[in-house]
């Protein structure tokens, strides 16, 4: 087995990646990266090759910076149709941190909320973003109860 390490191999390249702030696929520049690649020999003929890239990328729209990790290996191949017929490409597995799909950002005008409600809201959002569904559920209930109490409503829904 052999592993090699390379720095800055993709620096300056521009890729398409989902931006959590722009909420869409945008152009990102790879600011810096570290690449690890390896070859594992199993038996006389079979060679397994892989490539991991750890990158710091920046959205060219809103300038926010995230961490991106990609993985490729010689066994994961997909077939894509091009104008010259079908061809094989290495499948790239991508992870982003923070995950643009998961991360929910605070309401831009959350400061307008009454202080006690804002505190419950912030804690609930943190629970939601840290993948804690039970705590999130309790938080949402507390938000609804607090709003109802604030508005002097004893019941949910329209009154008759
Ligand atoms: Zn962006």
Report pLDDT for 21: 86
- pLDDT > 70? residue 144: yes
What is the average pLDDT value for the chain, to the nearest integer? 88
- Range 51-62 average pLDDT: 96
Residue 24 near residue 60 (C-beta atoms within 8 A): no
- The tens digit of pLDDT for each residue in 85-111 reads 888 888 999 999 888 877 677 788 888
Q: Cα of 127 to ligand 1 centre, how many Å?
A: 24
Whole-number Å distance, alpha carbon 111 to ligand 1 midpoint, is 23
pLDDT at 56: 97
- Flag whether pLDDT at 158 surpasses 80: no
- pLDDT (tens digit per residue) in 113-127: 889 999 999 999 989
Q: Given CA atoms 78, 97, 125, 132 in this order, what sign does their dihedral have? A: positive
Ligand 1 center from residue 130 Cα (angstroms):
22
Q: Is 18 exposed, middle or buried (0-12, 13-18, 19+ CB in 10 A)?
A: middle
Residue 87's pLDDT is: 87
Nearest to 66, CA basis, from 130, 20, 34: 20
* pLDDT tens-digit series, residues 13-31: 999 999 988 888 999 999 9
Ligand 1 center to 42 CA (angstroms):
43
How far is ligand 1, taken at its centre, from the CA of residue 57, in Å?
A: 11
Q: Burial, 135: exposed, middle or buried (Cβ in 10 Å; 0-12, 13-18, 19+)? A: middle
Cis, bond preceding 41 (omega within 30 deg of 0)? no
- Residue 70 near residue 92, CB atoms below 8 Å: yes
């Amino acid at each position: 087995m052999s592993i090699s390490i390379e720095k800055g191999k993709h620096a300056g390249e521009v890729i398409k990646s989902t931006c959590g702030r722009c909420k869409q696929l945008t152009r990102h520049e790879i600011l810096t990266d570290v690449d690890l690649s390896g070859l594992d020999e199993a038996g006389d003929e079979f060679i397994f090759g892989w490539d991991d890239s750890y990158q710091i990328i920046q959205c060219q729209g809103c300038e926010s910076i995230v961490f991106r990790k990609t993985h490729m290996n010689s066994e994961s191949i997909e077939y894509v149709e091009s104008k010259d017929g079908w061809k094989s490409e290495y499948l790239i597995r991508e992870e982003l941190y923070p995950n643009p799909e998961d991360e929910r950002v605070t309401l831009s005008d959350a400061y307008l909320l009454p202080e006690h409600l804002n505190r419950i809201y912030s804690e609930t959002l943190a629970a939601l973003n840290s993948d804690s569904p039970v705590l999130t559920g309790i938080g949402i209930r507390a938000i609804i109860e607090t709003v109802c109490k604030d508005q002097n409503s004893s019941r949910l829904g329209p009154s008759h």
